[in-house]
């Protein structure tokens, strides 16, 4: 990231603390702290929530560690990756294929819309060895209490520790929200750009040679020296709300304001997505493990690309029952249309998806209550014709425990790229049956301890599962796949000492889905304050661990993790030491990563042929300016 961009964000933050954006209407003189709301909360007429400004795991800057804890990637931040926690919860909609960069993408679903008296700014900067650079900036300003505009920006780049590991990514979300003065109309919107590039190594050629080396200067020959992957995504999103209900006029002195007793809304959503994925082999590099077939000319130069464009329109009617002190109900009916175009070299397909959705929810507002959620969707035409999803969830809250339970039944067309794929080295055209997934779940959370325990169990029963086999090509199983998962979270405290424990147990009855049976994330630290609580700090260690399993290999041209049964991955802890301090709104942290390198063995991988990062020192700063 250039210094001009960095200084521009700092300059905006400085302006935000001046009277440049001062609000002059008498109605706007009301003081309020920094709050935000999401589309999910807007749909359900829920209140905004306060921005969390506590000291919470700020030293965990890596997106996959932050979101998943246990995952596969290619040994450097910004490389393709996937979570190792099995979760199959998709909407009835078109899915292009597995996106190995999805964890880094900005999306409208995760966007926050702010309400803040003074402009809100949040800057995070992390520097480290081998040119690691992460810069995240979020800036939001209310020109009036009804109009909010902001930007959420991430810059990720790293040279990596081994040959051909360079990554560079830019992820930007420009967001805004508006509500009319009479509260009858509202709109939220996003303009999102995600793009990046990475050098493709294809993995090291000899694990045994690599494992004879010790120390932080390891090096090993790789399979590809001149190949590269790139991705670009653009999303334009807008959702309009036309609120239903009675408007009351409030006159105070010379000012007039309006209050709407909302009973529901009509909404219109429009979304445009443009996704492009590229793999370039400009010098005709070949490798029998990466390009094993004769589907294309693997001895020459080839440039593979996938381009996908979609335009969606969705119209919905939502009704809110009259809210009480204990509960609120929400009912929504919607119909949507999506135009889909996918192009690969000389292959192009277009579809028109039309589907309907219905949702009913009883939302509890007290700690002793009952919550319900029913959801159904069905696709009538297009690529996903006859796909459907039915789900039901219940939440029972009482004095000592919270219980949750639910069931989902889903029938869906396989991912498009599992059915149709055409590239230089790989191509296939498959006729697969629809994938049937049944999921039932149960969970419990306590309320009787200082730090309560939560446990959640999921069972997935899957027919016609589609996966990438050992030959890289997609295959469909004719056997019933059963996957069980159990996650348990519990924190213990002894004075200033905290012991956070998260365990995940997973078991698959078939080898077509490979998962570590046990994963653990343990975070043990000292949490306290000094100088009359002017300095808050945390000092400790964090461990990430999973048992050994046959981790999937990665193919750069197909952008897919595929089965292999030659190399066991895991049974190797990653231990980091950290020290984090907070003074007012500034957080500074130092981190020593992978301190246990060479303690047990010299071979360590998350993905076959892609070694983990070596020992490294990181330094980071987070600065927040808020009301």
Residue 535's H or E segment, with its range, is strand 535-546
CB contact set of 48 (below 8 Å; sequence gap of 6+) = 35, 36, 37, 41, 115
pLDDT along the chain (627 residues), means of 10: 51 45 38 84 91 84 87 93 90 93 95 91 91 92 93 95 93 96 92 97 85 78 91 98 82 67 91 96 75 54 88 96 79 97 93 97 89 96 97 94 96 96 89 96 92 95 96 95 96 93 96 95 93 91 94 93 92 94 92 89 84 91 88
Produce one character per residue of 496-535: b if its CB has 16 or more CB atoms within 10 Å, e if not. Answer: eebebebbbbbebeeebbbbbebbbbbbebebeeeeeeee
Residue pair 78/155 in contact by the 8 Å Cβ criterion? no
Please return the burial class of 547, using the count of CB atoms within 10 Å of its CB with bins 0-12, 13-18 and 19+: middle
**Two tokens, residue 353:** 């998806």
State the total domains in the chain.
Answer: 1
Q: What is the pLDDT of residue 258?
A: 65
Please report the pLDDT score of residue 19 as a whole number: 40
**What sign has the CA pseudo-torsion 110, 111, 117, 118?**
positive
C-alpha 512: how far from chain center: 25
Q: Quick one: three-class SS letters along 49-93? A: EECCCCCCCCCCCCHHHHHCCCEECCCCCCCCCEECCCCCCCCCC
Read off φ and ψ for residue 209, nearest 5 degrees.
-65, -45
d(CA 125, CA 123): 7
Give the domain CATH number at 238.
Answer: 2.40.170.20
Q: DSSP secondary-structure letter at 296?
A: S
φ, ψ dihedrals at 487, nearest 5°: -120, 140
Distances (CA, A) of 451 to 376, 448, 580: 36, 8, 22
Show the tokens assigned to 458.
């999921």
Quick one: 70 exposed, middle or buried, by C-beta within 10 A (0-12, 13-18, 19+)?
Answer: buried
Domain extent at residue 312: 3-77+87-625
pTM for this entry: 0.90
Residue 82 belongs to a domain: no
pLDDT number for residue 24:
36
Write down the pLDDT at residue 253: 66
Q: Is residue 376 part of a domain?
A: yes
- Closest C-alpha to 157, from 127, 132, 125: 132
User: Using alpha carbons only, what angle is made at residue 562 by residues 557 and 567, rounded to the nearest 5 degrees?
Assistant: 115
Within-domain flag for 272: yes
């Amino acid at each position: 990231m250039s210094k001009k961009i960095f200084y521009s964000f700092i300059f905006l933050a400085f302006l935000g603390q001046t009277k440049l954006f001062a609000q002059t209407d008498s109605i706007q003189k009301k003081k309020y702290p920094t709050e935000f709301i999401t589309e999910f909360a807007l749909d359900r007429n829920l209140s905004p929530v306060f921005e969390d400004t506590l000291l919470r795991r700020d030293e965990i800057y890596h997106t996959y560690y932050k979101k998943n804890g246990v995952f596969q990637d290619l040994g450097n931040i910004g490389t393709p990756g996937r979570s190792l926690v099995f979760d199959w919860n998709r909407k009835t909609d078109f899915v292009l294929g597995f996106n190995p960069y999805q964890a880094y993408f900005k999306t409208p679903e995760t966007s926050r819309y702010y309400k803040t008296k003074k402009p809100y700014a949040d800057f995070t900067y992390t520097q480290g060895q081998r040119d690691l650079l992460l810069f995240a900036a979020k800036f939001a300003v209310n020109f009036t209490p009804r109009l909010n505009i902001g930007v959420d920006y991430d810059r990720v780049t790293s040279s990596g520790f081994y040959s051909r590991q360079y990554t560079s990514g830019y992820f930007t979300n420009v967001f805004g929200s508006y509500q009319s003065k009479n509260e009858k109309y509202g709109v939220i919107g996003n303009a999102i750009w995600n793009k990046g590039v990475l050098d493709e190594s294809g993995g090291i050629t000899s694990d045994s040679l690599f494992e004879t080396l010790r120390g932080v200067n390891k090096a090993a020959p790789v399979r590809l020296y001149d190949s590269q992957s790139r991705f670009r995504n653009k999303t334009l999103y807008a959702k309009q709300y036309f609120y239903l209900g009675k408007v009351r006029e409030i006159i105070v002195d010379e000012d007039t304001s309006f209050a709407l007793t909302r009973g529901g809304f009509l909404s219109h959503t429009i979304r445009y997505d443009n996704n492009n994925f590229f793999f370039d082999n400009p010098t005709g590099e070949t490798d029998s493990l990466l390009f094993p077939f004769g589907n294309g000319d693997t001895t020459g130069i080839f440039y593979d690309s996938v381009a996908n464009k979609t335009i969606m329109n969705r119209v919905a009617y939502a009704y809110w029952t009259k809210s009480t002190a204990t509960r609120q109900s929400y009912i929504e009916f919607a119909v949507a249309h999506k135009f889909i175009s996918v192009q690969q070299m000389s292959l192009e397909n277009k579809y028109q998806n039309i589907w309907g959705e219905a949702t009913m929810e009883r939302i509890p507002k007290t700690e002793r209550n009952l919550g319900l959620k029913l959801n159904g969707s069905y696709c009538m035409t297009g690529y996903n014709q006859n796909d459907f999803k039915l789900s039901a969830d219940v939440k029972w809250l009482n004095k000592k425990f919270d219980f949750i339970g639910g069931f989902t039944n889903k029938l869906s067309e396989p991912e498009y790229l599992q059915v149709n794929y055409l590239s230089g080295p790989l191509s296939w055209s498959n006729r697969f049956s629809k994938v049937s997934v049944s999921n039932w779940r149960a969970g419990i959370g306590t309320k009787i301890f200082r730090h309560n325990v939560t446990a959640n169990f999921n069972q997935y029963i899957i027919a016609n599962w589609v996966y990438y086999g050992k030959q890289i090509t997609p295959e469909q199983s004719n056997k019933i796949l059963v996957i069980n998962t159990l996650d348990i979270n519990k924190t213990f405290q002894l004075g200033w000492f905290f012991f956070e424990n998260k365990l995940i147990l997973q078991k698959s009855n078939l080898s077509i889905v490979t998962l570590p049976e046990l994963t653990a994330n343990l975070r043990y630290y000292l949490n306290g304050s000094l100088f009359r609580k002017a300095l808050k700090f945390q000092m400790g260690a964090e461990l990430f661990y999973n048992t050994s399993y046959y981790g999937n290999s990665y193919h750069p041209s197909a952008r897919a993790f595929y089965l292999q049964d030659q190399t066991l991955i895991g049974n190797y802890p990653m231990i980091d030491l950290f020290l984090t301090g907070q003074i007012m709104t500034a957080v500074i942290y130092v981190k020593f990563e992978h301190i246990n390198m060479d303690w047990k063995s010299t071979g360590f991988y998350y993905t076959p042929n892609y070694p983990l990062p070596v020992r490294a020192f990181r330094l980071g700063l987070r600065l927040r300016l808020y009301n």
